[in-house]
Structure 1
Amino acid sequence: MKDQLNLPDNAVGSVIVNEEVMALLASQLELVKSPKKLLLMKHIHQEALPPVYTSVVHLGPSDFELIESKMADLDTMAFSKEELQYPFYGVMEQRELIAVGGYHIYSEDYVELGNIGTDVRWRRQGYGRKICTELTRSGRRVTSNVYLNVLEENIGAITLYQSLGYALMCKQYMVEFVI
């Protein structure tokens, strides 16, 4: 496959797999680094969502450079230019994007929130909750299958997601491997 795709010798691939598949792959792949443990969570309690936040704005194509810049500042784990076609929401303060979030997948069957972050200077003030609430609400208008992944070590985010009606579905691993 490496030759067919004309990939360089130092090419790295990545994949998210569940625990069962990870056990099978562990001995078959040359890992670049230790896999990151993730939790897949699904939104199942719509009544847990707080009221609509008017401070959260829908971001559009004219905001793409702003979104990309903020994603770089936040050092998001996974983000592709193609994902900018999906809805994004943000909070602006003093003409600055201070919190943002969007989707990795957005279809009529499955929505996956991602890239949720708040500028370090504005954290612990509820902006992540606001962004996640509006992303979830938007996703629920499309499908009841609204998911997100969160690093297992991010206890604060897990607690936030649970308070908004998310429940653990399974444990997963983000794996980076030599191709």
Structure 2
Amino acid sequence: MYSKLDSPVYHALNEFHEKFCLHFGDTQFYTPEVAAFGGSAHVSGEKDITAYAKSCDDFLIFGAKPKTEQDLSRLVCDQYVLEKTIALDYTEKIIQLKEKDYEELFAFIAKFYPYYFKNRTPELGRYFGIFNEGKLVAVTGERMQMNDMTEVSAVITDTDYLGQGYAKQLVAHVSGKIQEDNKTPFLHVAESNAGAIKLYEKLGFRHRGKIEVWGIKR
């Protein structure tokens, strides 16, 4: 049922995010100003990687290990899907971030995850935040999107505000918005991130499997 999630980048760029697609050989890549990701329905080859590397020095391949002589880093992620509605009592006001908020959004992301966002990353989907005394303290948004599935991503809370349930409320809110679009929410989390995994499972996300993410630096 969720076989497209074996190659989520490839299928997102064949479907809802087609406008961001750069196609090299057997691999689909996001326009690098939007996201430095690539993926193939099968295996990405050396020619595909070399072609994309002309415009992007540092990028990720989701799925099967690429056939390349480049040095690769490897991250194993757990993949989760949400098949039910999350019942939750919200205590915080959640605001959809607009273009006027992007400067603060970029500064917030850069503080905790440098280089996570590209210049046009907010074009991927909607981003939501929680503010405390006018300061952005937690965000969550949408990343890869297919016609029937959307990824929950950028789940980030200011370290000074951890433990207040902000991430839980934001993930629930974003997931609800995705379900209102008649899509299934999914997400990726590093298999070593036990705290996040516990949160997602408590919210009702079901473990679908594992996916490898390969880092390439030219």
TM-score (norm 2): 0.69
Confirm or deny: 8 A CA contact 1:52 1:134 kept in the other structure: no
Structure 1 residue aligned with 2:110: 72
Distance 1:161 1:39 in 2: 11
Measured on the aligned residues, the alpha-carbon RMSD in Å equals: 2.5
Q: CA deviation at 1:30?
A: 3.0
Structure 2 residue aligned with 1:142: 181
Local SS of the residue matching 2:54:
coil
What is the identity, as a one-letter code, of the residue corresponding to 1:177?
I
Distance 1:131 1:69 in 2: 19
Structure 1 residue aligned with 2:3: none
Structure 2 residue aligned with 1:49: 87
Partner deviation per Cα, 1:94-132 (whole Å, 9 max, x = no partner): 111000011112454221111110000001111111111
Higher relative contact order structure (alpha carbons within 8 Å, sequence separation ≥ 6): 1
Q: Select which of 57, 60, 68 maps to 1:11.
A: 57
Confirm or deny: 8 A CA contact 2:109 2:116 kept in the other structure: no
Confirm or deny: 8 A CA contact 1:108 1:142 kept in the other structure: no
Q: CA deviation at 1:77?
A: 7.4
Distance 2:101 2:72 in 1: 34
Q: 1:139 to 1:77 in 2, by over 3 A?
A: farther
Distance 2:162 2:53 in 1: 43
Residue correspondences, number = 170
Q: Select which of 95, 98, 101 maps to 1:63.
A: 101
Q: CA deviation at 1:152?
A: 0.6
Q: CA deviation at 1:55?
A: 1.5
Distance 2:178 2:81 in 1: 11
Distance 2:141 2:102 in 1: 12
Distance 2:142 2:102 in 1: 14
Confirm or deny: 8 A CA contact 1:56 1:91 kept in the other structure: yes
Partner deviation per Cα, 1:133-153 (whole Å, 9 max, x = no partner): 111111111133211101111
**Percent identity over the alignment?**
17
5+ residue gaps in structure 2?
Answer: 1-46
TM-score (norm 1): 0.82
Q: 1:174 to 1:50 in 2, by over 3 A?
A: same
